[in-house]
């Protein structure tokens, strides 16, 4: 390769010296280049001329065809309007007749890495719900301020979907054994009437009305933490906030949707199991 490079360098150098020393050689070379350039320009002009003629013919033909199509559409405009209307009727019917449903969450979130303990528990023994804490745990002023109407919430595990119940109990078990958080069911099933009463308190409580929440189908639950015999709900407590983050992570590993991932109004206490064909539209 080095030898070839040296040879090429010598040839180029010899050519340059020849052009510099001999005026006749320069005239011949540059004259040849001019003639070649002129010939190339002539070829390009002929090619462009032919291309322009063909393009003009094609444009004329296209205009004629477009005129024929427009004439046909105008002549059969009644049939065309009817056909378009028939195509749009199904879509417009769905848009007009369907109910405007606002679910408590919309966001599809990516599940975290699989927790081996969660998977083992989901495949293993069936868990039983823990005993409920004393009723006064849910009636404190702090709880009522953060979560209105908590005292009257339904906390009967048997009213929840069995599959959802097992997943939620797995979450509770992992939270207790791996992270040291004792979790409590704050609300499970929720009637449509109660859902409407909560919705009437404003969007900061819930935007879903009766029939629009997974609570009405036993597929949602709100949970919080028990610390030294007291229910801790507010995420302003750093300990509780850390617990909610772990709770959401474990819940997603168990196949549940966590309200803390919602882009609108986040509900850190809430998890749900969305099931096709259950939510009434």
Q: Quick one: pLDDT at residue 76?
A: 60
Which CA distances in Å does 228 have to 14, 75, 140?
A: 97, 83, 14
Residue 188 near residue 157, CB atoms below 8 Å: yes
Residues 66-79 pLDDT 10s:
566 566 656 766 65
Give the up-direction half-sphere exposure of residue 184: CA atoms within 13 A in the CB hemisphere: 22
User: Cα–Cα distance between 275 and 214 in angstroms, integer?
Assistant: 9
102: confidence class by pLDDT, cuts 50, 70, 90? very low
Q: Quick one: pLDDT at residue 119?
A: 78
Q: Which residue has the higher pLDDT, 53 or 144?
A: 144
Q: Quick one: pLDDT at residue 74?
A: 62
Residues 36-49 pLDDT 10s:
767 786 776 777 67
110 pLDDT above the threshold of 70: no
225: confidence class by pLDDT, cuts 50, 70, 90? very high
Report the predicted TM-score, pTM, of the whole model to 2 decimal places: 0.60
Residue 247 near residue 239, CB atoms below 8 Å: no
Asked which of 102-111, 112-121, 212-221, 231-240 is least confident by mean pLDDT, the reply is 102-111
Which CA distances in Å does 127 have to 196, 257, 263?
A: 33, 20, 33
103 pLDDT above the threshold of 50: no
């Amino acid at each position: 390769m080095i030898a070839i490079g040296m040879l090429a360098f010598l040839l180029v150098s010899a050519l340059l010296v020849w052009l510099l020393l001999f005026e006749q050689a320069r005239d011949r070379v540059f004259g040849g280049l001019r003639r070649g350039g002129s010939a190339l320009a002539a070829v390009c002009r002929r090619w462009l001329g032919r291309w322009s003629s063909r393009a003009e013919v094609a444009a004329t033909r296209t205009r004629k065809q477009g005129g024929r199509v427009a004439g046909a559409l105008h002549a059969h405009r009644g049939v065309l309007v009817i056909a378009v209307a028939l195509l749009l009727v199904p879509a417009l019917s769905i848009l007009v007749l369907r109910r405007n449903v606002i679910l408590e969450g919309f966001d599809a979130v990516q599940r975290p890495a699989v927790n081996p303990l969660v998977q083992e528990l989901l495949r293993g023994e069936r868990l039983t719900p823990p005993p409920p804490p004393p009723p006064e745990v849910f009636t404190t002023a702090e709880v009522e301020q953060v979560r209105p109407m908590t005292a009257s919430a339904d906390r009967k595990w048997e009213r929840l979907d069995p599959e959802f119940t097992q997943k939620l109990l797995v979450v509770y078990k992992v939270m207790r054994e791996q992270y040291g958080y004792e979790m409590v069911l704050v609300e499970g099933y929720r009637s449509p009437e109660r859902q409407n009463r909560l919705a009437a308190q404003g969007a900061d409580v819930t935007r879903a009305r009766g029939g629009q929440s997974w609570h009405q189908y036993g597929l949602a639950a709100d949970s919080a933490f028990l610390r030294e015999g007291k229910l801790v709900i507010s995420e302003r407590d750093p300990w509780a906030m850390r617990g909610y983050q772990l709770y959401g992570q474990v819940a997603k590993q168990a196949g549940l949707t966590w309200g803390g991932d919602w882009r609108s109004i986040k509900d850190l206490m809430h998890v749900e199991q969305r099931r096709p064909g259950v939510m009434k539209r």
